[in-house]
Amino acid sequence: MKMKRRGFMGMLAGAALPMRTEAARAPRHLKIQDVQVVVTNPERSAMGNFVLVKVVTSESGLYGWGDATCTGSELAVARFIEAHMRPALIGRDPMRIEDIWQTLFLLPYYRSGSVHMSALSGIDMALWDIKGKVAGLPVYELLGGRARSKLLTYTSVSGRDFQEAGEAAQRARERGYKVLKVQVRAPGMESGYAVPPSERQREATEKAHQAGVPPSELWEPAGYVRMLPKLFEYMRQKLGDEVELIHDVHERITPSQALWLAKALEPYNLFFLEDPVRPEHLDTFRLIRQQAATPLAMGEVWTGQWEGLFLITEHLIDYVRHDLCHCGGITIGKKIAAIAEPYGILTAWHGPSNISPVAQMANCHVSLSVANFGIQECRTNWPEAAREVFSTAPSYSDGYVNIGDEPGLGIDVNEKAAAKYPYLARHRPTIRRADDSAWAY
Ligand SMILES: [Mg+2]
């Protein structure tokens, strides 16, 4: 493996009495000189605003990039970093990642929550990027090295009906995917989570965006829950038993519906059932676990290592799905994996298209290095504008993703290109029941 080593390894290869190089001395004198925030939306999409953090050091040309994207609160996170975190970081030693993490976590008395923790996550990633560059090593080497050579991944396939989703699944299989997340629009619904909306819904959503208000979507969970066993029966008939199948409920059903669903899906042998209940209803996992063998995954909305901790220590889930952009960055991802490892619980870090390639790279560094890796969700079909802004992204081949061996996170941001695609005001939809009451997204 080709590596650009600076400092320590070069020192070992040198004279008997090691001489410290300029690079090797640098960490002891490094200071954080500036913290800059770049908000960019290269795709010009409703979910495409990325909040990028650049931590600049006192060494010329040495900086780190992190991703603090928190969809729905992007500008709050950007302002939080600029107004509240930047002053606490200037002058600090960027090599002291754990110390800075603890300092920033305890900084606001009213701590935690998605805005604070997304800001902290972005800073954390940037500090690991800097440390890797100083060491001349990719971040996964600093986390223990590769525990595997590539990362099993999956893609989402969806449709307006079973046939359309089945055809999309077959196309994904032809592209080499071994694991598929399958989503279908429920009967009588004009939209749903990760499914194509109807033309009428699309027009209403665009109209709301133009008016600068959140679009509204109708959602009734009962028909959706009744549909899902039929969907997976169809998929097994169409695709056979070899392919692994996932479904994401996205927290849109009641606790009792989640229990029924986990039991009803047992015959279809899912890879996992994702987000079966809202994060407010975590006690439901005890009920589900007592009665159903369907593997369960949860965690993408948690903002720290404490939320959902009992689901790990009581072994009530099978996959931890924390988002490294919200839970506290690489530092916390590594810790959560270590907590889950003795229970045989595997990682499946959240890697949707609404986090940037910087976070996708961070996901891969942690996933490569942990013993209890399960699967890595990862967007790989970035549009041209995103490729202009970001120097790289995880690469896809035959059902797996991988990253290179560049020092740090191995990704750079073209700030001039990012400036061409500024923040785009787009509100997330509100979900309403048929009686016009609010419901979980
Ligand atoms: Mg999910």
10-residue stretch averages of pLDDT, the chain, 441 residues long: 40 38 60 98 94 98 98 97 98 98 97 97 98 98 98 97 98 98 95 94 95 95 97 98 97 97 98 96 96 98 95 98 98 98 98 96 98 97 97 98 98 98 94 94 81
Ligand 1: distance of its center to the CA of 274 in Å?
6
Q: CA 317 to CA 289: how far, in whole Å?
A: 8
DSSP string spanning 54-121?
EEEESSTT-EEEEE---TT-HHHHHHHIIIIIHHHHTTS-TT-HHHHHHHHHHSSSS--SHHHHHHHH
Domain extents in the chain:
8-138, 151-413+421-434
Ligand 1: distance of its center to the CA of 192 in Å?
13
Tokens describing residue 86: 């930047």
CATH 3.20.20.70 fits 151-413+421-434, yes or no: no
What pLDDT was estimated at residue 441? 81
> Would you state the torsion angle of the CA atoms of residues 23, 29, 33, 37, taken in this order, to the nearest 10 degrees?
60
Ligand 1: distance of its center to the CA of 35 in Å?
31
Please provide residue 55's backbone torsions phi and psi, each rounded to the nearest 5 degrees: -100, 120
Ligand 1: distance of its center to the CA of 435 in Å?
26
Among 193, 268, 396, 421, the one annotated catalytic: 193
Sequence-distant (6+) residues with CB within 8 A of 439 are: 219, 221, 252, 431, 432, 433
Ligand 1: distance of its center to the CA of 423 in Å?
24
User: Catalytic: 193?
Assistant: yes
Among 84, 250, 281, 315, the one annotated catalytic: 250
DSSP E strands in 118-163: the ranges are: 151-159
What pLDDT was estimated at residue 27? 52
Ligand 1: distance of its center to the CA of 414 in Å?
30
Ligand 1: distance of its center to the CA of 15 in Å?
54
Q: Please name the helix (run of DSSP H) or strand (run of DSSP E) that holds residue 284, with its range, or none.
A: helix 284-291
* 408 secondary structure, DSSP code: B
Residues with CB under 5 A from ligand 1 (ion): 248, 274-275
Q: Please name the helix (run of DSSP H) or strand (run of DSSP E) that holds residue 377, with its range, or none.
A: strand 376-377
8-138 falls under which CATH superfamily? Answer: Enolase-like, N-terminal domain (3.30.390.10)
Let me know: does 59 contact 439? Beta carbons within 8 Å: no
Ligand 1: distance of its center to the CA of 153 in Å?
15
Ligand 1: distance of its center to the CA of 352 in Å?
9
* 21 secondary structure, DSSP code: P
Ligand 1: distance of its center to the CA of 193 in Å?
9
Phi-psi region of 145 (alpha: psi -120 to 50; beta: other; left: phi over 0): left
Ligand 1: distance of its center to the CA of 271 in Å?
14
Scanning 136-213, the segments in alpha helix (DSSP H) are 139-142, 162-174, 199-211
DSSP E strands in 233-365: the ranges are: 244-248, 272-274, 296-298, 319-320, 346-347
Ligand 1: distance of its center to the CA of 156 in Å?
11
